[in-house]
Structure 1
Amino acid sequence: MNILFLSPEIPFPPDGGHHLRTLNILKILAQKHEIYLIAFAQNRSEFEYVAEMEKYCKQVHLFPVAKTGFNVQFILLALRNLFSRTPVIAQRYFLKSACQKIKEIQQSRSIDLVHIDMLALGLYQSCFSESPVLLTDHNVESLRLYRWMKVHRNLPFKAYLWCQYQKMRLFEKHICSTVTHCTVVSHHDLILLGNLCEKGHFSVIPNGVDTEYFYPMEAPSVPLKMVWVGGMRSPYNADAVDYFLTTIWPIIREEVPTASIDFIGAAPTDRLQKCAAQDRRLNVLGFLPDIRPLVQQAGVFIAPIRSGSGTKLKVLNAMAQAKAVVATACAAEGIEAQDGKHLFIAQDHRHFADLVIRLLRHPQIAEQVGRDARRLIEETYSWQVIARDLDVLYESFRQRRIPIDPVVKNSADPATAVFRRRHAGHSPLENSIHP
């Protein structure tokens, strides 16, 4: 099949959750299909990776977009967005030059399927011909914005996030209802989006792990060592680290004075750098090309994430290395794991600290949980299994026999119920959305 694949970023290097999923799927799918990749770049340095992606794709076209954050280009975009019904992230990605390239590819090649690898690229539906469109929802984007708004302390920015949440909720409903088919990364997200977008058609294609790369190494754990993995340019990761430092670490430090933790990830927060300067037990290591040896040394992998949505690949990777993971409900969301058997889910900061302390003091429990976690990953979350399922879905488009996973209505899951109540009673988005 000839597949036109739209990605919000060039998925290289594989240094984050979205990159990992997209790159692994493209590698395997390219063995059977011709991939025409349209992607976007915030920095000129990203154009260096075009040659890497040409190993797997027939064509690669990369387009520059405005950087996020406090810069003139993005601030002007955000100001213009005040008068638009479209979320700023979707408006940011919509470029006439990219739309023109999409049309050129469709005119010169017989495209069997368009794969949109992020909701924010949904505006490009106006550029497609008659090809069926498959959308991958890596997250429930409106829920992610809502959670971020709830934990943010800056009131003007909180108000801005609230406006973006309202726009995203309507945009998400419209796009998921108008594409041919959507894939989500978990049954949890299937319930949320299925109830929000009742006209949409969904299948679950979970996130995965390269089980040959992430595996239990022959390296003994360092006593009383924890590890965090995640670049802190992401606001969700930055919030998780600061939350750990302010509410969880003081309890652990008091109960286990010799405990220590490695923080792996680019752009450490100001709070982390300040705390590390005053406490030698906090080791700030920055970005590392290979995180596996240090993860293997740790007795406990922490994931104190409070905002965001979707399945966290960092958690799956740690489980693949047979590490005991202590996570919030948000960090464990969508993973088909049993609490207390495959990982530990904390209800609040005190519970989180108590779980970590227990595992540090009883490493044999951590080792058993790690073994069970690895077994779960091998059986459920291997990229080979996941790419195979996606390939079956691709073939179903060719045969026009698309499988649909049933959506469980009125789920008893409390997070789902809260989210559904938030969305109840809102009017649908108008048929046309203009960037």
Structure 2
Amino acid sequence: MTKLTFVSTRIPFPPDKDGFTENIFHIIQSLKDQYSVHIRYIFFGKQMGNWEENEFEKHVDELIFEIGYSKYLFPIFPFLINKYENSTPVLFCDFNSGYYQNVIGSDNKILYAADSQAFYRSKRKDVFSKLLFFKFIIEESFLYRKFKNIIFVSDLDVEYTKGRTNGRGIQIPIGYNLSRSFGSTTKKFDLVFSGNFNFFPNKEAAEFFLIEIFEDIKKLFPYIKVCFVGRNPSSLMKKYANNFKLNIVVTGEVDKVEIYLAQSKIYFSPLLSGSGMKNKILQAMASSLPIVCTIESLSGFLDYNRYSVIVSNTQLSLKSSLIEMLNKSDLELEKMGQSNREYINNNYSWSSIVKIHYSNIFNI
């Protein structure tokens, strides 16, 4: 049995809480499902004794709590925390956990960065983002050099950080748990887009569609129904929903996004910026939806299903692609959606991601 150590400043439970919990939980679960491994999870933070900790403990062999001293002070005073010896690769599950790397005695330390925060902030124009950009450049330069490999989910992040990783950045895509998706149901919406709209790229994308594309499409499809699913919709999104009550639905926060995906015919993603791999695209494919999206939406994908995913590079081509997809019959849309689900099952299920990539990372 191979003993594996994970280090983090977060508990990855429940699995569908956010991108971090989704990724780390399923990496651990798929490793245990497919291999003979003993999982030790070291958590740097305050033990709360809540149900998340209690439930997650059932999925690992050891759950160890360490006091999470300030990440900026700890490198100066590493003696504050116990040291652990480990002969196998150690995965530091989030950027902040990397600051505790010197408590693990291993020559094979790997940082799961997922995304480069400096890369994300480099695309923002506000003053606060510019300040954060310089902060993350300094932090990444300090931290990345301490690891044998740094895992990113997108090739764009690998390329952007090459100077700070000294070429040790590697791309491993995220997977998706297909059991989360719902079966076919009555279709209420022609188009659906999902996300946390407090996140600038999602807000920017939704508002771009509403201002630049929606009314032109409505002229051709007067009864079109467009659904925006997710928390923190902007005031402009709410304004459009109020002005076009028959055409636009803005849900706000929902318990399960998958329910709304199952009620839709086409997923569209008009993202103009952002970094990392988009879980929303995997989620839409797993929900058997054909997709119209920008090239930015496919960041991190090693490949995609060209039959069922239409990629547009300009505002004009995105509008044309949406019109083309909306003109297809329900039967053809259903076939395209099923093709996407099969593609995800064969290429991006968590079991296949772990088997192809993480078995090599952990030498098992």
Shorter-chain TM band: 0.7 to 0.9
C-alpha deviations, 1:248-278, integer Å up to 9, x for none?
3233223322111222212222222232222
Kindly indicate whether residue 286 of structure 2 is the aligned counterpart of residue 320 of structure 1.
yes
Q: What is the aligned partner in structure 2 of residue 302 from structure 1?
A: 268
Q: How does 1:339-418 map to 2 (within 5 A)?
A: 340-363=306-329, 364-396=331-363
SS in 1 for 2:271: coil
- Give the structure 2 partner of residue 182 of structure 1: 150
Which structure's residues are more often strand, by fraction? 2
Cα deviations by residue, 1:182-206 (Å, 9 ceiling, x for unpaired): 222244444444x434624244321
Partner of 1:35: 40
2:201 touches 2:273 (CA, 8 Å); kept in 1?
yes
CA contact (8 A) 1:4 1:35 kept: yes
Rate the CA distance shift 1:173–1:64 in 2: closer, same or farther, 3 A: closer
Query: 1:62 & 1:246 partners in 2: Cα distance?
Result: 50
CA contact (8 A) 1:102 1:128 kept: no
Distance 1:287 1:357 in 2: 28
Q: Which amino acid aligns with 2:63?
A: Q
Report if aligned partners of 1:205, 1:389 keep a CA contact under 8 Å in 2: no
Q: Closer, same or farther in 2 for the Cα pair 1:233/1:159, shift >3 Å?
A: closer
State the match for 1:282 in structure 2: 248
Shift in alpha-carbon separation, 1:380–1:142, aligned structure 2, 3 A: same
Q: TM-score, normalised by structure 1?
A: 0.71
- Judged with a 3 Å threshold, the aligned counterparts in structure 2 of structure 1 residues 160 and 233 are, in CA distance, closer, same or farther, namely closer
Q: Give me the TM-score of the superposition, normalised by structure 2.
A: 0.83
2:74/2:99 contact within 8 Å kept:
no
Q: Deviation of residue 139 (structure 1)?
A: 1.6
Mark the CA change 1:181 to 1:325 in structure 2 (over 3 Å): closer, same or farther: same
% same residue: 19
Q: Given the alignment of the two structures, is residue 26 of structure 1 paired with residue 28 of structure 2, yes or no?
A: yes
- Residue 236 of structure 1 corresponds to which residue in structure 2? 201
- Structure 2: unaligned runs, 5 residues or longer: none
Does structure 2 conserve the Cα–Cα contact (< 8 Å) formed by 1:185 and 1:206? Answer: yes
How far apart, in 1, do the equivalents of 2:217 and 2:54 lie? Answer: 47
1:169 pairs with 2:137: yes
CA distance in 1, matches of 2:144, 2:88: 20
CA contact 1:268–1:284 (8 Å) conserved in 2: yes
SS in 2 for 1:341: coil
Structure 1 unaligned regions, length at least 5: 66-91, 151-157, 399-435
Q: Secondary structure at the match of 1:236?
A: helix
Q: Which of 76, 81, 99 matches 1:103?
A: 81
Cα contact 1:122–1:175 (8 A) shared by 2: yes
State the 1:9 CA deviation: 5.9
Root-mean-square deviation (CA), in Å? 3.3
Distance 1:315 1:39, change over 3 A: farther
Shift of 1:310: 1.0
The letter for the 2-side match of 1:219 is T
Structure 1 residue 313 displacement after superposition: 0.9
CA distance in 1, matches of 2:304, 2:6: 38
Please state which structure has a larger fraction of its residues in helix: 1
Is the 8 Å Cα contact of residues 146 and 162 (structure 1) preserved in structure 2? yes
Q: Which letter does structure 2 place at the counterpart of 1:28?
A: S
Count of aligned pairs: 355
